[in-house]
Amino acid sequence: MTGSALALVLGSAVVHATWNLAAKKSSGGIPYVYLVGMCATVFWGPLGIWLLLSGRAIAPGASAAGAFAYIAGSSLLHLGYFSTLLKGYQCGDLSLVYPLARGTGPFLSTMLAIILYGERPSVPAFLGALLIAGGAFFLARNGEGGGGSGDEVVGASDALRAAATPQAAVTPQAAVVPQAAVAPRQRLAILYGLLTGVFIAAYTLWDKRALSLGGVNPLFLEWGTCLGRFVMLGPWFLLTRAGRASLAQAWRDQRRPAVIVALLSPVSYMMVLSALAVSPVTYIAPAREISILLGTLAGNRLLLEGNPRLRTRRLIAATAMALGVAALAIW
């Protein structure tokens, strides 16, 4: 991986973790997904239109129909990604869902790129990919904080210990949510996290083909997917009374995080797409997962998620991911 590609990926990781923190705080659903797509379409519209009118949206000689087919497919995959990610954040902590989603995606991307595209990473780079994915799963092994924000639900083991003590009846934390209610939410959070990872792998491979075979400009591809989500969900949110009401409610309650995500999410992925244009998927997809560490730290420190006992595990996981990124960068 070149130095410029690594810089793009690491910069993207910082931006990505930031907008996921905003998304977690929103606790939004499909109306929020549409609001983000609408804002991103407007904010980045001048860039997309300029690329289209200047002839820079699609490479010379590339099929326009094929390029827009790639954009439509990417829009569907990103719609699934945003929907499952936000459902996961509604059920569990950022420090649980984010590592699972970001760890599953690159591992599947790397495996499928080897199978489908014939990419052959070096042995150290392949081991680096495994270290990053393994570190992510190790980081998320203890999903004890699951159930939304840290001040709403206690962890399963903490609830059991609290129930076994005489003070349980008067301890506010122990009375918030019983363990029986926490466990299903944890399982749902894990399920949505893994499903989000599948969407990540799918859109990474699809978008790589859009760049290399479809000739789509990476900046235009990202704006096109925002526009695609806006168009696909538009009939419901713009033409029905219930849709307009839910969109208006989302704007009143969640416009600040929606604007943050609309501005930062495209920046993050544009940086990744630019790196994909010059480096293999097997290097880019795992390297961007250093954002796992940043997202987990944000959940632990800013949202007060997690448990002090997890600090050693987090340090081990962070070390594994750092070594993995180093392996990808050097080899």
- Output the pLDDT for position 221: 95
Q: How far is CA 131 from the centre of its chain?
A: 19
Handedness of CA 196, 232, 241, 245 (dihedral sign): positive
Top-confidence residue, 157 or 118: 118
Q: Residue 156 falls within a domain, yes or no?
A: no
Cα–Cα distance for residue pair 227/266, rounded to 1 Å: 12
- Output the pLDDT for position 331: 65
Cβ neighbors of 268 (< 8 A, separation 6 or more) are 12, 15, 16, 19
Q: Residue 11 falls within a domain, yes or no?
A: yes
Q: How far is CA 278 from CA 10, 15, 68, 304, in A?
A: 15, 21, 22, 39
- Output the pLDDT for position 155: 37
Q: Which two tokens stand for residue 284?
A: 């880019």
Confidence of residue 178 (pLDDT cuts 50, 70, 90): low
Angle between helices 218-239 and 30-43 (to 10 degrees): 130
pLDDT higher than 50, residue 3: yes
- Output the pLDDT for position 295: 78
Q: Residue 97 falls within a domain, yes or no?
A: yes
Strands (E), the chain: none
Q: How far is CA 218 from CA 79, 101, 303, in A?
A: 18, 23, 33
Q: How far is CA 66 from CA 18, 57, 72, 74, 217, in A?
A: 33, 13, 10, 12, 13
pLDDT higher than 80, residue 186: no
Confidence of residue 166 (pLDDT cuts 50, 70, 90): very low
The predicted model gives 111-136 an average pLDDT of 80
pLDDT higher than 70, residue 182: no
Listed range (38-42, 79-83, 148-152) with the worst mean pLDDT: 148-152
Cβ neighbors of 326 (< 8 A, separation 6 or more) are 128
Angle between helices 30-43 and 45-53 (to 10 degrees): 50
Q: Residue 77 falls within a domain, yes or no?
A: yes
Instruction: Give a three-class secondary structure readout of 241-252.
Output: HHHHHHHHHHHH
The predicted model gives 12-32 an average pLDDT of 84
Domain range enclosing 77: 3-146+186-330
* Cα atoms found within 13 Å of the Cα of residue 180, Cβ hemisphere only: 1
Task: Determine contact, residues 152/177, Cβ cutoff 8 Å.
Answer: yes
Task: Determine contact, residues 159/178, Cβ cutoff 8 Å.
Answer: yes
pLDDT higher than 50, residue 75: yes
- Output the pLDDT for position 172: 39
Q: Which of 120-134, 250-264, 315-329 has the highest mean pLDDT?
A: 250-264
What percentage of the chain reaches a pLDDT higher than 70? 82
Number of domains in the chain: 1
pLDDT higher than 80, residue 161: no
Question: Using one digit for the tens of pLDDT, what is the confidence trace for 188-205?
Answer: 888 899 899 899 989 988
Question: Using one digit for the tens of pLDDT, what is the confidence trace for 204-236?
Answer: 889 989 999 999 999 999 999 999 999 999 999
Q: Residue 296 falls within a domain, yes or no?
A: yes
Question: Using one digit for the tens of pLDDT, what is the confidence trace for 26-60?
Answer: 767 889 889 999 999 999 999 999 999 999 999 99
- Output the pLDDT for position 176: 44
Q: Residue 166 falls within a domain, yes or no?
A: no
Q: Which of 30-34, 105-109, 270-274 has the highest mean pLDDT?
A: 30-34
Q: Residue 164 falls within a domain, yes or no?
A: no
Confidence of residue 147 (pLDDT cuts 50, 70, 90): very low
Cα–Cα distance for residue pair 259/126, rounded to 1 Å: 37
Question: Using one digit for the tens of pLDDT, what is the confidence trace for 231-258?
Answer: 999 999 999 999 999 999 999 998 998 9
Q: Residue 110 falls within a domain, yes or no?
A: yes
Confidence of residue 113 (pLDDT cuts 50, 70, 90): confident
